[in-house]
Amino acid sequence: MSNISRVFPVFAIAFAVIYIASVYFNLAVLTYHPQLVQWGPLVEAPKQGPAMYWYGWLITSAAGSAAIAALALALPARALDRACAVLVWLVPLIMIAVIMYILRGYFLR
């Protein structure tokens, strides 16, 4: 467990980046149509009522960051640990700033 857990910070860093990319480029692996109570694969256009992509973005981010974290197991533990100690909070903070910029239209109207 301790060997696997050392890449948990990598998962967090990758998750923040992939999630924001998923939102910006709409990389949802599934779409939910709440009015129809219907799921669809990948990105589908709204059918009746709104289409919800958030669940799809979540799965995209979890799968992508899990894959990156698995690859990071091959990296030297000490160097990875040192880099992650800063990046683990800095990258999510930057991604929050990015999403605030993306959503700025709501606050500047």
Partner 1 sequence: MFSFLLIIHSLLAVTLLGALTHQTISVWWPVAKRTGSFISSVRSVPSMTYTNAVIVLYLVTAVFGAWIYTEYRLSIRVTLQDYRMHVPEGAFELKEHVVTIGLGLLPAYWYYWRQPADAAHARTRAIVTALLAAIVWYSFLTGHVLNNIRGFGS
Give the footprint of partner 1 on this chain (CB under 8 A).
5-6, 8-9, 11-13, 15-16, 19-20, 23, 32, 34-35, 49-50, 52, 54-55, 57-58, 61-62, 65, 84-86, 88-89, 92-93, 95-96, 99-100, 103, 105-107, 109
Question: Which is closer to partner 1, CB of 42 or CB of 103?
Answer: 103
* Cβ at position 74, least distance to partner 1 in Å: 18
Take residue 47 and report the two structure tokens written for it.
């059918």
Q: Is 39 helix (H, G, I), strand (E, B) or coil?
A: strand
Least distance in Å: CB of 79 to partner 1? 14
CB of 50 to partner 1, least distance (A): 5
d(CA 48, CA 36): 7
Q: With respect to partner 1, which residue has the nearer C-beta, 19 or 29?
A: 19
In 3D space, the residue among 5, 20, 32 whose CA is nearest the CA of residue 61 turns out to be 20
Q: Which residues contact 52 (CB under 8 A, 6 or more apart)?
A: 31, 32, 33, 34
Is the four-CA dihedral 57, 62, 65, 70 of positive or negative sign? Answer: negative
> In the complex, what is the shortest distance from the CB of residue 63 to partner 1, in angstroms, rounded to a whole number?
12
Name which of 42 and 54 has its Cβ closer to partner 1: 54
Q: Identity (one letter) of the amino acid at 63?
A: A
